[in-house]
Amino acid sequence: MLGNTVEFGETCEEALRREVKEDLGVDISDIALINYNDYIKDGKHWLAIDFSAKTEEKAQNLEEDKNEEVACFECREVPENISPYTRECCKLLGKP
């Protein structure tokens, strides 16, 4: 699960490719929209856009100051402490 900002003039898919490359050092393919949600909390409004994607490369933790570790999982293998938003995406994919 990555979170960041779409830059002006950038599509959501372009932002996803850029962020994954910057944060994990991998290129992605087969991008598909799963879902989107509005989250309004503490006077802020966030839009979560969820995608699935594939990579043939091993993800790296290129932001160790922000992330303790990174890992990739199949939906049926996600750990118990995964965010509820990610778990919901897996349900939408039919792979709880």
* CA distance linking residue 76 with residue 95, whole number of Å: 6
Predicted TM-score (pTM) of the model is: 0.78
pLDDT value of position 22: 92
CA nearest 90: which of 77, 75, 80? 75
How does residue 56 score in pLDDT terms, banded at 50, 70 and 90? Answer: very high
Domains of the chain: 12-92 (3.90.79.10)
Read off the DSSP letter of residue 76: G
* CA distance linking residue 25 with residue 74, whole number of Å: 19
Q: pLDDT > 70: what percent of the chain?
A: 95
